[in-house]
Amino acid sequence: MRGGMRVLVCPDSFKGTLSAVEVATALGAGIEEAGGVADLCPAADGGEGTAETVRAAIGGEVRTAAVHDPLGRPIEASFVLVEDGATAVIDTAAASGLPLIAPAERDVETAEAASTCGTGELIAAAIDAGARRVLLAAGGSATTDGGVGAIEALRERGISAATITDGGWGCAGDAALVVLCDVTTRFEDAAAVFGPQKGADGAAVKRLTERLGRIAEELPRDPRGMPMTGCAGGLSGGLWAAFGAELRPGAEFVLDLLGFGDRLRAADLAVTGEGRIDSQSLEGKIVGQIAAACVAAGRPLHVVVGQDGLGREAAASAGIASVAEAGTVEALRAAGRRLATPR
């Protein structure tokens, strides 16, 4: 049996450049080159790429469906069926993601018009494919519609809260619809926090916030004031209010699914990473969840990122042993070699 240093490799994606699987593979290759033993555990926090990360970890089948993008244009989007088809994993970004709107198109008009209709269509397609539970990763959306587009798309296909709660959909002991949340933002704050990155100026943010208020008053339950209801421009809150969706911190949920705790205890140290680390990375994101777990387990944690916006003092306060910048595959391999080289 190999006696090298055992390293748990559990990164998130480097958004826009490398998937979590690609980052983990590159780090793992460097660790193995230095004589270490790498346990590859690519992760996600409910943002873009969550479905593929879960599929890579536990297997599954990719399905596609004809849906509409945030501006109502027809596209093909994919989802993943796992657990012998009983569970579907869907990225909101697949049908309602910001990358589906070209940078030149991102303005006040598109920020206000963007709809989650395509995500509702994708959920419906997963149900049609036989899924009894849907895990919806909420991150990366272009929308601030309070989930109205998705709710209407589901209702048009005969899916209602009664359908779910009467047992026509769902597994014993599980919520039928679980939204994996990558932020804790409240419904009423969604436009102010995320609207500007979707093209909204100050006046548009005000209008969107007022619209979310009207939507909240019309929903079966008022989502305002609850953490995590503002994900994907209020999509999470809308689905909670209209369908009784369960809202879960995405990082915690995915790490549990991957058996992270047992794998960490079997390792000598851990390495995680993301495209950019900053103070928000420590608040419910993968890096923060893993840092807390490593402190509790007494395992050193090293972080590899594309860009370090955290700083040494803040990293040390969070229990992080080191932060290194490595934004390319070769740089990640080199970082892996350094981590596994005895000091």
**77-135 residue pLDDT tens:** 999 999 999 999 999 999 999 999 999 999 999 999 999 999 999 999 999 999 999 99
The alpha carbon of 133 is separated from its chain's Cα centroid by a whole number of angstroms, namely: 17
How far apart CA 316 and CA 267 sit, in angstroms, is: 21
Strand pairing report for 246-249 and 177-181: parallel
How far apart CA 73 and CA 316 sit, in angstroms, is: 47
Domain containing residue 314: CATH number: 3.40.50.10350
How far apart CA 339 and CA 270 sit, in angstroms, is: 9
The answer to whether residue 138 sits within a structural domain is yes
Picking from 23-37, 42-56, 87-101, which range would have the lowest pLDDT averaged per residue? 42-56
Residues 63 and 160 in one domain: yes
Element (H, E) at 64: strand 61-68
State the pLDDT at residue 3: 62
The answer to whether residue 1 sits within a structural domain is no
State the pLDDT at residue 342: 77
Element (H, E) at 250: helix 250-257
The DSSP code for 165 is: I
Cβ–Cβ < 8 Å for 270, 258: no
**214-272 residue pLDDT tens:** 999 999 999 999 999 999 999 999 999 999 999 999 999 999 989 999 999 999 999 99
pTM for the whole thing?
A: 0.88
Nearest alpha-carbon partner for 308 in 341, 281, 343, 288: 281
Whole-angstrom CA distances from 229 to 1, 182, 283, 327 are 48, 11, 16, 32
- Residue 326 above 70 pLDDT? yes
Amino acid type, 201: D
The answer to whether residue 141 sits within a structural domain is yes
**155-179 residue pLDDT tens:** 999 887 765 554 444 443 444 899 9
Number of domains comprising the chain? 2
The answer to whether residue 232 sits within a structural domain is yes
Domain containing residue 155: CATH number: 3.90.1510.10
Element (H, E) at 78: strand 74-82
Which domain range does residue 38 map to?
6-43+259-340
How far apart CA 178 and CA 246 sit, in angstroms, is: 5
Residues 110 and 18 in one domain: no
Share of the chain above pLDDT 70, in %: 95
